[in-house]
Chains A and B, each alone.
Chain A
Amino acid sequence: MTVFRRLLAGLSTLVLPAYGLAAEYNLTVDRVTIDTGDFVKEGIGYNGASPGPVLRFKEGENVTINVTNNLDEMTSVHWHGLILPFTQDGVPGVSYPGIRPGETFTYQFPIVQSGTYWFHSHSGFQEPNGAYGAIVIEPRDADPVAFDREYVVQLTDKHPHDGDRIMRNLKMMPDYYNRQQLTVGDFVSEARDRGFWATMKDRMMWGDMRMMKADVEDVQGFTGLINGHGPAQNWTGLFRPGERVRLRFINSSAMTYFDVRIPGLTLTVVEADGNRVRPVPVDEFRIGVAETYDVIVEPRDDRAYTIFAESMGRSGYARGTLATRAGQTAPVPDRRPPSYLTMADMSGMPGMDHGDMGHGDMNHDDMGHGAAAMDHSEMAHGEMSHGNMAMDHADQASDDGAMDHGAMAHGEMNHGAASHEAMGHDQMAPMATADMSEHDAVPAGHAVGRHRAMAARTDDAAMSHAGTAPQGREHNPFYARGSGLTPEAANGGRFLSYADLRAAQPLYPERAPTREIELRLTGNMERYSWSINGVKFEDADPIRLQYGERVRFKFVNETMMTHPMHLHGMWSILDVGAGQWNPIKHVVSVQPGTTVYMETEVDAPGQWAFHCHLSYHAASGMFRKVVVEGGPDTAVGTTPVQGGDA
């Protein structure tokens, strides 16, 4: 299977005609009217509607898709998550020039995978304006996931302003759309609970840094849609009690992460980003921008169930219904209170070494995370940069024994000296991804792979820290410890974490990465400018990869926002510490204050886009071109390639 896929990717044009089916599809790109129930808006759609049609392909077929541009501006269609020749990937200026007004562009590529994906425009802000649709690919052989019926559940965050207007407003005033800022009233009620000075100190600390605890969702004011229907329009999928229903969730939002639940039902996650995972039953999951998750639900009662997708910052929601007859509804839950960032979310920030922070005044309790919640693995993410304000060692007696103070040097820490390099952060970072205590459901074979990951770049001191970390299974290692964004299930049950994901079958034989590329996710919220390694797309050189190498990407989030990073053309193998069972994705969300690793088998020659999938972050610079040099003939194989920087 694996070998076959790789063969297909490399030799598709030669192999496919021999066995492939061929199918032709037509898409037009049109001006459309979008009615969300809250407002009516001009937008862009496919075949006369937004969202566009659900394209159904079959693994192994050779598709021809004719895209006709009926707009008076350039357009493009990108097949999100599909593995295909780069000239068919649909990114203007990277893989092709784009599609001119009136022109029909014919895409032709083999379908070498199965699962749930989507397509969208990669031109300007056409995608936030409505140019998106779903892709469902049936596996070549019998689907290992059994289900009686299926629905695509495509989420988006439709805004009354169009994309250009939103971008311009954010540039004029970065908090233009933020209506969840802390008010005088919040101060008063907090002062009543925590005391005036504690609240004052908290506000002073954030004010000192010119950062807002409310910077969770920078574009609010949208209406959440499911398959184009607003909450009042209530998209409904029918079922018969006892059926296994497969819901293919796709987050096609411009900017919004959704926390999805269906009160009364357990969601069994069976696929992430189109790739099968070992089934994980959860009560709720967070779907990052551009991610897809397939879940199985088994509603047994003859009644309606609400699909409730609340935005991560709680400023909006999408709602649909599973029902046994049309018109049947179930109660719609209230939104939970807004979430706010904490100091833990700031921890990856070099801004923390501003000399003017006045840490003398800070004490740990003011920072919104209790001492009990801390352990050494927290430092793995780079929190050491504010170690002296975040930690109160007196409260940590139990951990102190295990702590190697010398190695961590926090006694001498000051913010200036606490840069990543100075902290030996590189050695410690893998704990973030290999936080062993958190993995309670370790599949067989996991231990080996995990060990490799740890041993490869973890020193003894760091190992011992991991060993002494508290066993709290509720901590999600993909969030900074104490993060204000850490999700919790509304019913107190299980919330899906990346750490729960295990590939159902590895796509690639396991091997050591040939090199590591560090990508710092950077930005300036006040100027609304976003970048990678401090450099915006327009000023950046491409990232150059060699065909045949296996690259380990290290993402260090130095901003206060979550970034869904999307590499085109090749898989992103997310390091959850499970070795060959690490899940295979096309979008990797990196939370504030964390470091996340993914590996990529560089098996697709050509030029590819690589960017944050938040539309206004990508547009203001968090974007790179990736050039894969060489090809099957000139593969570098497993020979390590030294160095490498973006």
Chain B
Amino acid sequence: MSPVVAAEPDPHTARYFWGIQFEEFEYRYSDSDEEVASWDGDAFYGTDELKLRWLGKGEYGIDERAYETLENQLVLQTPISDFFDAKAGVRVDTPEGPDRTYGVLGIAGLAPYWFEIDASLYFGEGGQAMTELDVEYEWLLTNRWIVNMGLDATYAFSEDRAIGIGRGLSSTELGLRLSYDLIDRTLSPYVGVVHEKAYGDTRDLAREDAESTEEWYAVAGVRWMF
């Protein structure tokens, strides 16, 4: 009896996975008649133990034909507890105006009571540092009609006048979206409202540049996942 079996690639365990998801992919219309295309998505490839993840966010001013914000992050992500991952990587911002590059450290995962948390610390080349907290929560009206609530807040530890960020709590974005799972979870159209607000020094900088410091948007878009 020779219990030796030729080495073959392991057929039993699915190890590598990938996915693409756009949580927000939408058209925004503001109370000051501004039109914006906006997105917030991510893609990953990897194993349970280590994933490479791209995260992209942007706002494109349809009237100005310019990127108001455009950020891309590439991070490595690994589990640190049952429900949380740690991540580290780089973030490159390339909107209109000066570019910025940051190092990223953060955690992402599921907090008790089903709050999805993504918290990051960004270190800029010029010594700037800021932190961003993103919290998401879902209410199931039915198993297909879903209300999604999202809060995104940025706090800067240092000032970066060139890109209009002052020290302290600089901005928040609060969104409420009602979606319907049209094709599985692959395609879910939604409508909603978004409230953006600047605070403190950041607000003052915006005023100096004659930019709005608070904006309400009606939004329509699709959430998609593949």
Contacts and interface: CB of A to CB of B under 8 A. Distances in A.
A185 B147 CA distance: 13
A176 B185 contact: yes
Contact of A173 (B8, B12, B139, B185): B185
A42 B18 CA distance: 23
Contacts of A183: 140-143
Interface in B1-20: 1, 3, 5-15, 17-19
B193 to A, nearest CB: 19
Contacts of B5: 93-97, 607
B113 A207 contact: yes
Nearest to A629: B3
A208 B11 contact: no
B148 to A, nearest CB: 13
A233 to B, nearest CB: 24
Interface string A97-137: 11000000000000000000000001110000000000000
A351 interface: yes
A537 B166 CA distance: 51
**Overall SS of chain B's interface:** loop
A623 B13 contact: yes
A524 interface: yes
A324 interface: no
B114 A182 contact: no
B203 to A, nearest CB: 35
A207 B10 contact: no
Interface string A190-212: 00000000000000100111100
Contacts of A171: 17, 19
A451 B10 CA distance: 44
A381 to B, nearest CB: 22
A537 B12 CA distance: 8
Contact of B12 (A180, A221, A611): A611
A581 interface: no
A415 B49 CA distance: 28
Contact of A168 (B19, B83, B112): B19
Interface in A200-248: 204, 207-210, 221
Contact of A620 (B8, B13, B112): B13
B48 A529 contact: yes
Contacts of A76: 11
Contacts of A356: 112
B143 A180 contact: yes
A53 interface: no
A301 interface: no
Given A74-B11, A93-B10, A181 B143 contact: yes
Contact of B8 (A98, A172, A181, A618): A98
B180 to A, nearest CB: 13
Interface string A63-76: 00000000000101
Interface residues on B, range: 35 or more
A184 interface: yes
B82 interface: yes
A527 B79 contact: yes
Contacts of A319: none
Contacts of B6: 96-97
Interface in A138-181: 164, 167-169, 171-173, 176, 179-181
Contacts of A176: 184-185
A180 B142 CA distance: 9
Interface in A611-629: 611, 618-621, 623, 627
Nearest to A633: B1
B225 interface: yes
Contact of B11 (A122, A164, A621): A122
B21 interface: yes
B151 interface: no
A621 B140 contact: no
A182 B140 contact: yes
A20 interface: no
A52 interface: no
Interface of B: 1, 3, 5-15, 17-19, 21, 48, 79, 82-83, 110-114, 139-144, 184-185, 225
Interface of A: 74, 76, 86, 92-98, 122-124, 164, 167-169, 171-173, 176, 179-185, 204, 207-210, 221, 351, 356, 524, 526-527, 529, 536-538, 605-607, 609, 611, 618-621, 623, 627, 631
21 contacts: A76-B11, A167-B17, A168-B17, A168-B19, A171-B17, A171-B19, A172-B17, A172-B21, A173-B185, A183-B141, A184-B141, A356-B112, A526-B83, A537-B10, A537-B12, A538-B10, A538-B15, A606-B3, A607-B5, A621-B13, A623-B12
Given A93-B7, A96-B5, A221-B184, 10 more contacts: A93-B8, A95-B5, A169-B185, A176-B185, A181-B143, A184-B139, A210-B112, A538-B10, A619-B13, A623-B13
Q: Which 5 residue pairs are nearest across A and B when measured between Cβ atoms?
A: A207-B113, A172-B19, A97-B6, A179-B143, A183-B140
